[in-house]
Structure 1
Amino acid sequence: MIEILLNFIFILGLGFYLITVSQWFSYRLERVLFHFTKPMWHINFVLIPMIVYVVLFYINPLYFGAYLLFFIITLAIWHKKLDKKLVFTPRVKRLFLVLVLTTLFFGFIFINKAKILPVILPLIVAFAISYMYENFNSKLFIKTASKKLQSMPNLTIIMITASYGKTSIKNFAYQILDGSFKCYKTPRSVNTLMGLVKDINENLPSDSKIYIAEAGARLRGDIEEITQFLNPSIVVVGEIGEQHIEYFKSIENIRKTKLEALGSKNLKQAFVHTSTLKKSSEKIAIYDESLSGVNASLDGVKFSLKFLGNLEEFKAPILGKFNASNIAVCVKIAEYLGLNLSVVKDRVAHLKSVEHRLEKIENGGKIIIDDSFNGNLKGMCESYDLVAKFDGRKVIITPGIVEATKEMNEILAKKIDKVFDLVMITGELNAKILGNFIDERKLIIIKDKSNLVQILAEKTKAGDLILFSNDAPNFI
């Protein structure tokens, strides 16, 4: 019984780690195995413990019991330090229940038949059972959500995809259209198939007239899958760039994936960015081809855009030159849906910034610009150009670009060194690359983000401009 108990606790500990990292990557095994940026964690919490288990359990299970105490304490400390801890969703609870049952089952079967009780087998079986159940469950949820959409024949679905800017476009479109239509938008950055399915089943009001949804992708076919589910009548394919190049391998693969959105069987109008390389046609409009006169400052952005054939000027209290393009496509959607020019101009003039995307805050005499959800090279560099106009001391906190090439982070580092007076690099992922191009006299490496508040209090003062540029959980 002692052997079964030790085996049981050990497998649950391994399961806790594996479930935590699986949740970060939407339970996709290939991403956990091949796109994990902290491989030493896999070694420390899976490989080494399993080797120690085999060796010590074979010698004397009680020896392993002493190590098991160390393993559990280390695992608890590791989890406590995470800024993205395991969330005990219904799926996680079901997976733990299956793991408990399979561990006990195999433990009692092998207790008198093997010197060392199986460890990998219960984990494999539990994850396999969970995957099959969740896959079956997902199909039921998709079917329910599809029926709900079919029961709303007057609903106009606007689907937005892009390498970056999806969430901003979604929020700006909602603010411009909601005063004229009963609108609903997906919350936060929900942009996966199952995220959309869950949102529709649980939150989409049945009296909505416009549903604005964003669609994200990590693999070819992801956008096609979402498109076949939503079948939007209005599609936005925003700017194409090297975001998530690690997964797609080439810019052309990214472009082809985003353009899968044009395959909607209900498509009436698509608004696409020039970077898609598409040509205008009866159903396709290049929304930024008439965009001109863009000017951005710390007070906002203004630009000119054709509206009903005339070049009109628009102003918005939104930071960032790149946001002119994001707002422009929303103006073109409003034009397509028949909104009056004066109404559109007024709503653009009163747009509110999207949380964590060049969000300006003043606190204690310091100007804080929260751009922590901006993680692409072009957007980050443009935010630095904006900050460069500030006369006082400029401070940046950033992990660099995640899921990007070495060359992209080198370009970013050179830009940072040119603009900022104090540079704080969070995490170790890009610390070496960035550090090679930034003056070490103004460089601070912050390995543990829990110390960030204290360091900011010590190193910054009233009159400083502090930019939070991109962010990454500490598992990245």
Structure 2
Amino acid sequence: MIQVIEILIVSTCLIPLIYFYSVIFVKGYYDLYRLYLSIKTNIKKYLLIYISKISLLILSIAFTIALGYVYGLIFAILNTVLSLLIIPKSFIKVTRRFLFQNLISDFIVTCLTVLSLTIKSEIGYVFLVPEVLIVSSVILSYYINYPIEEIIRTYYLKKAKNKIKQANNLKIIGITGSYGKTTVKNFLAEFLSNKCVLVSPGNVNTLMGLTKFINNCLTPFDEYLVVEIGVDKLNGMKKYKRLLNLDYAVITSVGPQHLLTLKSIENVYKVKTDIAYLLKKDGTLFYNSDSVSYSKKFNGLKTVSFSSNDYKIISKNGEPAIVNFDDISIKTRLHFDSSVLNAYCAYEIAKTIGVNKKTLIPKFERLEEISRRKKIIKKGNKIWIDDSYNINFNSAKESIDYALKLQGKKCCITAGLVELGKDKKVYLTKFGEILAKLDSIFIMNNDFSGDMLNGYLSNGGNIKNVIKESKFDKVLNMCSNFDVILVLPIGDKYNLI
């Protein structure tokens, strides 16, 4: 009878522990798998990690039962060390924080597994109180830690909300979209430059990132707050309701971006149009009708659509565009159709807000493409097209089409496209096809195979014109023989100019 009770007690203690470890294990390796898809690392290395962790966990348990918990803990340490040795250096660089958290949690849970199996004999029966406490602490730690993190988040969110309330005349403009968010934000800031306007820096577009920015920078005297809103998960827009109550919402575009997490264009459309839920009842929604159709979510809202049909572009041989609309002709400094559309979007917002049209026209004329987003740089007799931030097919295609309008020998520097999800084959094939129109391709990540290669060859591309080189300085030297150099996404660590 005592043995049966002991078995029941041991089982009762182990079941929650096994469950807890399974949750960490499955979640951790699901994240690893997603990261593998993003950075295209060899899956065999992750399988090796997976197998080694399982093996060492089993050995830890076996040695604990046979020799005691000290030996089990030694194997728990080996488990962590082996993970550090096996995981590729490139992976560590990309996800250092995640890796550290994952390894620490693995180490703690392995140690607790070992300790929970340490059997102490006391007056003829198994004494399990320490084990019960250990297992309970593991489970409780999750439920204690999460509320603490939530309390901290709530504190800073409440602080930011109070700062917004203190700015009595503040109007909040939220911008979302697959691409064009930062460009529209910067153009709009220029149109509103005569006002007290606060603009979120760079591509700060997460809930807590915006919370920190507002807490640090917003003053009671600001009239306009312009922010980007980034969403790459279904229902991800709703969390921003905790911070933002928008006067104006903007959808710049819907396209093949974040397909790894959102899976389909339909889901991209859904999450981007969810910005309507952040609007005040008397708010205004601006949307790009070229890629966004009217949604039921817009019912009851004041809406303003804009599209490339609202104006006419006159441009020859890659020269800056002349834009005609509303009986106005504007000679701009913009070279790309998407840049003109983004500028027109910002113009419509500013006009709706109430900025005098006469003051907007000179500012429209001064707008230029911003750094790393289709920036044209002329150095001597060479033209550089810096589109190294926009990592999506539509943007890459537009940049290549523009390069083809220019005179001279043309090359492209790229590391390919990512986050394409189930449509990866289609987009990589198309990407290869349009790359074949250029004279040479420099591949920064040494990956020019599969669908991209098939597309390249099917459209007449010559494999001899594809150069694989991971060192950016060497690539720049090899580009000296070209007249037009297009730089597509190559990673943040490279600085073109």
Alignment TM-score, normalising by the size of structure 1:
0.77
CA distance in 2, matches of 1:197, 1:106: 39
2:281–2:301 Cα contact (<8 Å) kept: no
Shift of 1:385: 1.1
1:300 maps to 320
Residues 229 and 68 of structure 1: is their aligned pair in 2 closer, same or farther, counting only changes over 3 Å? closer
2:46–2:87 Cα contact (<8 Å) kept: no
CA distance in 1, matches of 2:30, 2:273: 24
CA distance in 2, matches of 1:299, 1:186: 31
Shift of 1:356: 1.0
CA distance in 1, matches of 2:202, 2:161: 22
CA distance in 2, matches of 1:427, 1:124: 43
1:456 maps to 476
1:47 maps to 50
Counterpart residue identity of residue 311, structure 2: L
Counterpart residue identity of residue 151, structure 1: Q
Return 5+ residue gaps in structure 1 as ranges.
1-17, 23-27
CA distance in 2, matches of 1:265, 1:42: 50
Question: Matched residue of 2:96: which SS?
Answer: coil
Shift of 1:376: 2.2
2:342 maps to 326
CA distance in 2, matches of 1:174, 1:411: 35
Residues 146 and 386 of structure 1: is their aligned pair in 2 closer, same or farther, counting only changes over 3 Å? same
1:232–1:267 Cα contact (<8 Å) kept: no
1:159–1:215 Cα contact (<8 Å) kept: yes
1:345 to 345, 361, 369: 361
Q: Given the alignment of the two structures, is residue 220 of structure 1 paired with residue 234 of structure 2, yes or no?
A: yes
Shift of 1:247: 2.7
2:12 maps to none
Counterpart residue identity of residue 432, structure 1: G
Structure 1 residues 61-210: aligned runs within 5 Å: 72-73=84-85, 77-78=89-90, 82=93, 84=94, 86=96, 131-178=146-193, 180-210=194-224
Question: Matched residue of 1:461: which SS?
Answer: helix
Shift of 1:325: 0.9
2:177–2:254 Cα contact (<8 Å) kept: yes
Residues 70 and 376 of structure 1: is their aligned pair in 2 closer, same or farther, counting only changes over 3 Å? closer
1:357–1:371 Cα contact (<8 Å) kept: yes
Q: Given the alignment of the two structures, is residue 465 of structure 1 paired with residue 480 of structure 2, yes or no?
A: no
CA distance in 2, matches of 1:293, 1:155: 35
Return 5+ residue gaps in structure 2 as ranges.
1-23, 121-130
1:261 maps to 275
The superposition leaves residues 133-182 of structure 1 with CA deviations (integer Å, 9 ceiling, x where unpaired) of 3233222222221121122121011111112111111111112212x111
Residues 133 and 468 of structure 1: is their aligned pair in 2 closer, same or farther, counting only changes over 3 Å? farther
1:433 maps to 451
Further displaced range: 211-220 or 68-77: 68-77
The superposition leaves residues 268-316 of structure 1 with CA deviations (integer Å, 9 ceiling, x where unpaired) of 32211112212899711112252223537644333223xxxx3322333
CA distance in 1, matches of 2:301, 2:76: 70
1:8 maps to none
Shift of 1:470: 2.3
Q: Given the alignment of the two structures, is residue 358 of structure 1 paired with residue 374 of structure 2, yes or no?
A: yes
Residues 396 and 331 of structure 1: is their aligned pair in 2 closer, same or farther, counting only changes over 3 Å? same
CA distance in 2, matches of 1:49, 1:29: 13
Shift of 1:74: 5.3
Question: Matched residue of 1:367: which SS?
Answer: strand
Residues 147 and 29 of structure 1: is their aligned pair in 2 closer, same or farther, counting only changes over 3 Å? farther
Counterpart residue identity of residue 175, structure 1: E
CA distance in 1, matches of 2:306, 2:119: 71
Alignment TM-score, normalising by the size of structure 2:
0.74
CA distance in 2, matches of 1:63, 1:223: 44
Shift of 1:425: 2.6
Residues 363 and 75 of structure 1: is their aligned pair in 2 closer, same or farther, counting only changes over 3 Å? farther
Question: Matched residue of 1:269: which SS?
Answer: strand
Shift of 1:454: 2.0
1:291 to 311, 318, 321: 311
Counterpart residue identity of residue 350, structure 1: R
Question: Matched residue of 1:322: which SS?
Answer: helix
CA distance in 2, matches of 1:123, 1:464: 62
The superposition leaves residues 9-28 of structure 1 with CA deviations (integer Å, 9 ceiling, x where unpaired) of xxxxxxxxx9xxx9xxxxx9
2:160–2:215 Cα contact (<8 Å) kept: yes
Question: Matched residue of 1:400: which SS?
Answer: coil
CA distance in 2, matches of 1:473, 1:311: 42
2:49–2:83 Cα contact (<8 Å) kept: no
2:431 maps to 412
Give the aligned CA root-mean-square deviation in angstroms.
Answer: 4.1
2:339–2:369 Cα contact (<8 Å) kept: no
Q: How many residues align?
A: 432
CA distance in 1, matches of 2:485, 2:140: 49
Question: Matched residue of 1:236: which SS?
Answer: strand
1:161–1:236 Cα contact (<8 Å) kept: yes
**Highest CA radius of gyration, 1 or 2?**
2
2:163–2:218 Cα contact (<8 Å) kept: no
Question: Matched residue of 1:407: which SS?
Answer: helix
Counterpart residue identity of residue 313, structure 1: S
Question: Matched residue of 2:468: which SS?
Answer: strand
Residues 101 and 147 of structure 1: is their aligned pair in 2 closer, same or farther, counting only changes over 3 Å? farther
CA distance in 2, matches of 1:41, 1:55: 21
